[in-house]
Amino acid sequence: MGADAVFRVEALRKSFGQNEVLGGISLELFAGEVTVLMGANGAGKSTLVKIVSGVYLRGAGSMQLAGRAFDPQTPAEAIRAGVVTVHQNINDGVVADLDVATNLTLDRLSGKGASLLFKPANVRAEARAVADRMGLAIDLKARVSDLTLADRQMVAIARAMAHQPKVLILDEPTSSLSSAEADRLFALIDRLRGQGVAILYISHRMSDIRRLADRIVSMRDGVIAGAFDHKPLDYEGAVNAMLGRKIHLERVVARNSAQAVFSAEGLQIAHGSKPISMTLGAGEVVAITGLVGVGKTALAETLFGVRKPLAGTMRMDGEPHAPVSAREAIAHGVFLVAKDRATSGIVGGFNIERNISLPFLKRMSGFGVMRKRAERAAARRQIDELGIVCRSEKDELSALSGGNQQKVMVARWMSQASRLFILDEPFQGVDISARRDIAAKLRASADGRATLIFVTEIDEALETADRILVMSEHTIVGEHRNADIDLDRLLAEVAGGPLHSAA
């Protein structure tokens, strides 16, 4: 054990009923170091974090913080001791109905001395100080629910930083951030590292890991499968330890399609933006990549009928396509896996079976009575085909790991046939293995529809798509067939280089 270990976990165990989730975890976090924790969905990462942050009580084992016993009974107790967590679910870190200033000072307002601080002027002054330390350029009077997903994430992180923690846990913190926002977060992490904060960083993004990691710890099946701290770090070894097998990258064989399913002509989705024209073919998987904020979600919502274009036309199978609602889009075979599953997708209190069938209840009922056998069969088929880790289709969605929840969201829309299948950041928050499970299923089932995937990570596009389109400033600036791609050109387009023609 290192002398500088700020935080220690020894032989930690946790079970839910007969299911042992953690089987004797031992882990050290060191002052001034970033320890990256990698693990496949269901490996136990979330359970470990929830015990450390006081959400769950530990089973067996012990924890120490700065040489003293640490056993938080509540999240507030963990925070007061100096262990602060920014959870993957953004809504766990902010109160959407309050303004930014109140969110940034909420924990102090509810603690000791709150009565002295409960003045609007004091709240704003302290919030401004927190925002300035973070470099947070957001209107402090704005309600958090009115912010973009990326800005909500930054508020959640800034709120955590206000505690000046000894141990900071970040769970997939860049999943909703633009490149510039991620760079700002990385700079802050570097400052905290210099100040002696011990940081546990949970991520599957290799770009994040290469940028930040001092050490990598891999989890598998509730135990530590490997620890890597020798320089240069063995990234491939860490991934293999996480999965328990060696990954063999299979190159996508790009397919061509002669049958157009969807087309857009002169489509404008933002004031002042250049129009979009594109065609998507049957059996084709097309990825649209670009930085956060370039209009990917706006385009997805336009195709799905929840946002009206400013100009231009769309066609499905040669017929005009101008849905005025998601219901109408679904009726015409256009399905969307939304980006923010917590607010636009999952119903935590429903089981897997009902979450999958939810948009199609009418199709699965006769004379007002659900055909339970059909509902159950559809859920079991998707569980098997996507490798969803669960006990049965009756498990509540809230009991699953984030990656398996994402698989359920994909399974929902794959349980019925579609003509245009749209997925907005379908790999967000999932591990490498789950990402490849989803990508393989999308490609294997692509016949008979056009598949459109919006991703920020270029690797995700390269591993999944037949064609890659690049978005910048709410328009398409580049098109690439996924064979011998000029990556320098693609990266220049992503970074906002000169427009290229893209049909």
* Spatial CA neighbour of 415 closest among 388, 453, 380, 387: 380
Q: How far is CA 335 from CA 21, 265, 423, in A?
A: 35, 21, 8
Q: Is the pLDDT at 2 greater than 50, yes or no?
A: no
Q: Tell me how crowded residue 187 is: count the other CB atoms within 10 A of its CB.
A: 11
* Pair 314, 322: CB distance under 8 Å: yes
The model's confidence at residue 324, banded by pLDDT at 50, 70 and 90, is very high
In this structure, is residue 426 part of a structural domain? Answer: yes
The token pair that represents 289 in the structure block:
């990549």
User: Does 335 lie in the same domain as 201?
Assistant: no
* 218 shares its domain with 266: no
Residue 369 has pLDDT above 90, yes or no: no
Question: Do 276 and 143 have their domain in common?
Answer: no
Domain boundary among 214, 243, 272: 243
Q: What would the two tokens of residue 320 be?
A: 């005009």
Is the CB of residue 16 less than 8 Å from the CB of residue 40?
no
- pLDDT bin (cut points 50, 70, 90) of residue 216 is very high
What is the C-alpha to C-alpha distance for residues 492 and 498, in angstroms, rounded to an integer? 8
Band of residue 283 on the pLDDT scale cut at 50, 70, 90? very high
- Secondary structure (DSSP) of 24-80: EEEEEEETT-EEEEEE-TTSSHHHHHHHHTTSS---EEEEEETTEE---SSHHHHHH
What is the average pLDDT across 225-230? Answer: 93
Cβ-in-10-Å burial (0-12, 13-18, 19+) of 444 comes to: exposed
Q: What is the pLDDT of residue 402?
A: 74
Q: How confident is the model at residue 499 (pLDDT cuts 50, 70, 90)?
A: very low
d(CA 363, CA 378): 12
> pLDDT grade, residue 286 (50/70/90)?
very high
Q: Which domain holds residue 60?
A: 5-243
Residue 172 has pLDDT above 50, yes or no: yes
* 488 CB-side CA count, 13 A: 0
Would residue 454 count as lying in a domain? Answer: yes
| Averaged pLDDT for residues 19-28 | 92
- Residues 75, 194, single domain; the answer is yes
pLDDT confidence of residue 502: 37
Residue scoring higher pLDDT (201 or 372): 201
Last residue of a domain, one of 187, 213, 243: 243
pLDDT of amino acid 209: 87
Residue 468 lies in a domain: yes
Check whether 181 has a pLDDT greater than 60.
Answer: yes
Cα(460)–Cα(383) distance, rounded to whole angstroms?
A: 22
pLDDT of residue 422: 97
Phi, psi of 80 (to 5 degrees): -65, -30
The yes-or-no verdict on residue 119 having pLDDT over 70 is no
Of the listed ranges 102-111, 301-310, 429-438, the one predicted with least confidence: 102-111
238 shares its domain with 282? no
Please tell me the predicted confidence (pLDDT) of residue 74.
93
Q: Are the C-beta atoms of 262 and 314 separated by less than 8 Å? A: yes
Mean pLDDT, the chain, as a whole number? Answer: 84
Of the chain, the percentage scoring pLDDT greater than 70 comes to 88
**pLDDT score, position 178:** 67
Q: Who has greater pLDDT, 429 or 86?
A: 86
Strand order in the sheet with 5-16: 19-30, 5-16, 60-65, 68-69
**pLDDT for 362:** 67
Whether the predicted pLDDT of 332 surpasses 80 = yes
Residue 177 belongs to a domain with what CATH number?
A: 3.40.50.300
Q: In this model, does residue 247 exceed pLDDT 60?
A: no
- Is the per-residue pLDDT at 325 higher than 90? yes
Residue 502 lies in a domain: no
**Domain assignment present for 251:** no
pLDDT of residue 403: 77
Same-domain check for residues 178 and 223: yes
pLDDT number for residue 235? 83
Q: Are 217 and 38 in contact (CB under 8 A)?
A: yes
Provide the pLDDT for residue 314: 97
Tell me whether residue 366 is in a domain: yes
Structure confidence at residue 147 (pLDDT): 86
Residues 435 and 465 placed together within one structural domain of the fold: yes
**445 occurs within a structural domain:** yes
What CA–CA distance (Å, rounded) separates 268 from 309? 6
* Same domain membership, residue 226 and residue 124: yes
Predicted confidence at residue 176, as pLDDT, reads: 66
Which pair of structure tokens corresponds to residue 279? Answer: 């065609």
Q: Do residues 63 and 8 touch, judged by C-beta distance below 8 A?
A: yes
- What pLDDT is stored for residue 296 in this prediction? 92
- Bridge partners of 91? none
Burial of residue 5 (CB within 10 Å: 0-12, 13-18, 19+) is middle
Tokens of 291: 């930085």
Query: Is the residue at 503 inside a domain?
Result: no
Rg (CA), the chain: 23
In this structure, the answer to whether residues 38 and 73 fall within a common structural domain is yes
pLDDT band at 339 (very low <50, low <70, confident <90, very high): confident
CA distance 416 to 322: 22
Least confident of 280-294, 391-405, 461-475: 391-405
Residue 503 has pLDDT above 60, yes or no: no
Helix (H, G, I), strand (E, B) or coil at 277: strand
Both 471 and 341 in a single domain? yes
Instruction: Judge if 235 and 266 occupy the same domain.
Output: no
Phi-psi region of 448 (alpha: psi -120 to 50; beta: other; left: phi over 0): left
Tens digit of pLDDT for each residue in 81-117?
999 998 877 667 788 888 898 888 876 655 555 454 4
Across residues 38-43, what is the average pLDDT? 78
Number of folded domains that form the chain: 2
Domain boundary among 243, 275, 299: 243
pLDDT of residue 336: 93
pLDDT tens-digit map of 41-54: 678 898 999 999 99
Q: Are residues 224 and 276 in the same domain?
A: no
Mean pLDDT of 119-132: 81
Spatial distance between the Cα atoms of 313 and 20, rounded to a whole number of angstroms: 54
Per-residue pLDDT averaged across 267-280, rounded?
93
